[in-house]
Chains A and B, each alone.
Chain A
Amino acid sequence: MKRLGDFFDDRTGWRALVHEALFERVPGGARWRYVWGSTLVFAFMTQVVTGLFLWASYSASSQTAWESVWYIQHEMAGGWLLRGIHHFMAQAMVVLLALHLLQVVIDGAYKAPREVNFWLGLVLMMLVLGMALTGYLLPWDQKGYWATRVATNLAGIVPFVGPQIQQLVLGGPDYGHHTLTRFFALHAGFLPATLVLFLVVHLALFRRHGLHAKQPITKPDGLFWPDQLLKDAVAMLAVMAVVLGVILVPAVRTMLAGGEVVTGELGAELGAPADPSQTYAAARPEWYFLFLFQFLKVFEGWGATGEFLGAIVVPGLVMGVMFLMPIIGNWKLGHRFNIAFTLGLFAGVAMLTGLALNEDYSALWTDRSKLGEATRLFDETDGDERKLLAAVGGDATKAAAIARQFSAVEKFRRSEAFLAAVRTARADAERAAELAGRPERIPPGGALELVRSDPLAQGPRLFAQHCGSCHAHIDPASPDAAAVLAKASAPNLHGFGTPSWMKGLLDPTRVAGPAYFGNTAHKDGDMVSFVTGDLQDEDTWKPTDIEAVIAAMAAEAGRVDSTVPAATIAHGRELVANEERCGACHRFGDNGTDLGTACDLTGWGSRVWIVGIISDPAHERFYGDSNDRMPRFGKAVDGGIAPLTDEQIGLLADWLRGEWYRR
């Protein structure tokens, strides 16, 4: 062994190199405050290692990026841990950068002869932030996509060359394959290569100047190895422990609660696949850029000038001052100014971050009941002060007090909306992952295709956009049901086709209620008078008859309980078809009743039936001339553009019927 060592030492001189690397003198002995630089190098090395392994499984294109990250996260053994370490170490790196910078400024380590090394450090900081920014897009999920859109649009407001810069970064006029390949090349190639270059010089200069000792020196000198390196190693281990803790603590919690740990849900989040056609109200930058996001709000109302000031001029000036610190430090009070500036900057960043978080999450800790009256008046007056004055009976003092609460109401509403958006985003993400995990896997067109053809993902959105302005869709047992139903002007479609829905329709106390025909033109129609009249005659309609009708209708919808005897359904079908009962108005199978009086009940609630009524409710099979207000959503006969495609109508029908992929 020794001879082998000698052989290589003769030819490379490695022993001297190692000796020089390890036996560096540490003036005043090893100290904890010197560990930050080493932890940063460690964090960077961790990113290189985990990044290279991630690279081995990642595919940068808009049809494979999300998909390959999903595969790493949910399918590959250990992928969740690898991705988790990479994700959270990136965040740890930003924190360590801040600590390193703070320590260097406070200790005055930027002063002569170390000015150049300080500048190199600032460049390194910008490179790290650049890697954080470019890495955020790579999973091509909603979160990264929308955050990057904002960031690249800000690049577009740079004077003169902004649009060109933007187009170069995006790899074209729009977001797509080349945005990913470019961001990936930046993230894993250009930026880290540049960073390594600067890091080598940074470390070489650090060794040349020696460690900047904290004054006054009271203890004897120590050695880098093992004194300082032990402290460094402990700090590195602590950093890694924190990162692993963030990844694993949720798993431990689940286990303690007796739940089953799903490794794919641990570590870094993966949102739903990026979809330019879908609003994403939960869009926020990563937490360490939140301060910039909040800072831009200061310039709200200034238009492009404001964005230019907030995103480019002010951050540029701040960086400028930081680059000048070694020079400012030579002045009489320069060092104190530098410390004050840095601390002020950190305080400002912390404050802006706090403000941003408060705006988004305040609904979590705001006492809603205190805003009760203000909320009611806000809705009644639309926030108009003159109307408010009238609403409180001309009491100017009260009006002023309430008006002051209006901004709190608005803030609460905004925060609530954000939290709801975050919940939606999470549900979408979970759903996308669930769909991708089907045995058939992801279609060649990508996961977005899968999400777009999923009734569970699209149904609620289509319903809200096209149906929700009239129809409610809420579980009648839900506590908010009464309030939601009061606002609806058409039947509640929750559970449409199920026995319980039909039971409510045939209930004399409910048929003219808000969940059924209460808020429609059919309120005083034949069906309501039938349910409240004829159907109550127990000689003709025994309770078992009504139950049989309910079962038969649910059977038409294909949603009847398997425990219901076939004889009951058959009996119900006879009653429905009977021309002296339902069949008097309704066509059912071949009972001979003319269409046009009431809905054809053949296949009521089935997919075909629902698609039919959404496509053309005024068709004689449905409401005919007595159609209330429901517009036609399907193919227009006059050649106009239909509001919904056949696929969308099918998605709505499937969603209403509860038919979607389940694990």
Chain B
Amino acid sequence: MKADKPVPAAEDSRRRFFAKAAAIACGGLATLAPVAAGVWTFLDPLRRKSAAATFLPVTDLSAIPDDGVPRQFAIVAERVDAWTGFPRDPIGAVYLRRQKGSKDVEALTATCPHAGCFVDLEPGARSFRCPCHNSSFTLDGEIVEPSPSPRPMDSLECRVGENGQVAVKWATFRAGIAEKVCGS
């Protein structure tokens, strides 16, 4: 039915205004609950923080020859993914290397600072190259121009224990910016 006829009863406009306001208020309030509960739950991930950087045992000094060539190692750690707890799970990778005669270990994360891809070691181990956008780095992790990466590869703190155990302070860094900032 089309409502092109005039309003059947001449209503008091104030009453009609209140009726409209009340209808909107009631309907709005009723709708608010599910929407609010939904948005509240949807925003839950913002409360979650990534784990604080900690030293994680990676390998033994003997597994890193002192030839200055980086070698790739997996970072294995306890990991919680929402409801699942993984007692030991590979969570990332690092390149470790040692200079001739040195006992110090240098660590570079394998995550590209440009867009977060996995940086490969070039055949012949002369340089690093990211397969996604061809970011290139020297074995020290410095940028080789031209490169889309805004910063050098991210170095990680490294500690060699008395028993020769190599531990890396594992952290993730924000990609795509010139500064090295913790976070993912």
Contacts and interface: CB of A to CB of B under 8 A. Distances in A.
B123 interface: no
Contact of A442 (B7, B27, B85): B85
Interface in A434-464: 436, 440-444
Interface in B30-80: 30-31, 33-44, 47, 80
A78 B26 contact: no
- How big is chain A's contact interface, by range? 35 or more
B148 to A, nearest CB: 33
Interface stretch (A215-223, A376-384, A469-477, A614-622): A215-223
Interface residues of B, number: 39
Chain B contact surface mostly: helix
A67 B81 CA distance: 11
A226 B23 contact: yes
Contact of A223 (B7, B24, B44, B85): B7
Given A50-B38, A220-B8, A230-B26, A78 B44 contact: yes
Contacts of B37: 50, 53, 78, 81-82, 85
B102 interface: no
Contacts of B14: none
Given A223-B3, A226-B16, A234-B26, A441 B80 contact: yes
Contacts of B82: 68, 71, 75
Given A236-B27, A442-B83, A442-B84, A77 B44 contact: yes
Nearest to B44: A76
Given A49-B34, A233-B27, A441-B85, A79 B3 contact: no
A157 to B, nearest CB: 37
A232 B19 CA distance: 12
B44 A221 contact: no
B20 interface: yes
Given A23-B3, A233-B27, A441-B85, A82 B80 contact: no
Nearest to A437: B83
Contact of A444 (B33, B41, B42, B84): B84
Nearest to B8: A221
A134 to B, nearest CB: 20
A227 interface: yes
Contacts of B80: 441
Given A46-B34, A68-B83, A230 B19 contact: yes
A239 B30 contact: yes
Nearest to A72: B41
Contacts of A19: 3
B125 to A, nearest CB: 35
B182 interface: no
Interface in B75-112: 80, 82-87
A31 interface: no
Interface in B1-27: 1-3, 5, 7-9, 16, 19-20, 22-27
B34 A50 contact: yes
Contact of A441 (B5, B43, B84): B84
B8 A85 contact: no
A81 B40 contact: yes
B40 A78 contact: yes
A24 B30 contact: no
Given A67-B83, A77-B41, A227-B19, A25 B3 contact: yes
A244 interface: yes
Interface string A282-295: 00000000000000
Nearest to A441: B85
15 contacts: A19-B3, A42-B30, A49-B35, A49-B38, A72-B41, A82-B37, A85-B33, A85-B37, A220-B9, A225-B23, A229-B27, A232-B27, A440-B85, A443-B87, A444-B86
Interface of A: 19-20, 23-25, 42, 45-46, 49-50, 52-54, 56-57, 64, 67-68, 70-72, 75-79, 81-82, 85, 89, 210, 220-223, 225-227, 229-230, 232-234, 236-237, 239-240, 243-244, 436, 440-444
Given A81-B37, A237-B29, 17 more contacts: A23-B3, A24-B1, A49-B38, A54-B41, A76-B44, A77-B43, A79-B41, A221-B8, A226-B20, A230-B20, A232-B27, A233-B27, A234-B22, A236-B26, A236-B30, A237-B27, A440-B85
10 smallest CB-CB distances across A and B, nearest first, come from: A78-B40, A441-B85, A53-B38, A23-B3, A233-B26, A233-B27, A230-B23, A221-B8, A82-B37, A76-B44
Interface of B: 1-3, 5, 7-9, 16, 19-20, 22-27, 29-31, 33-44, 47, 80, 82-87
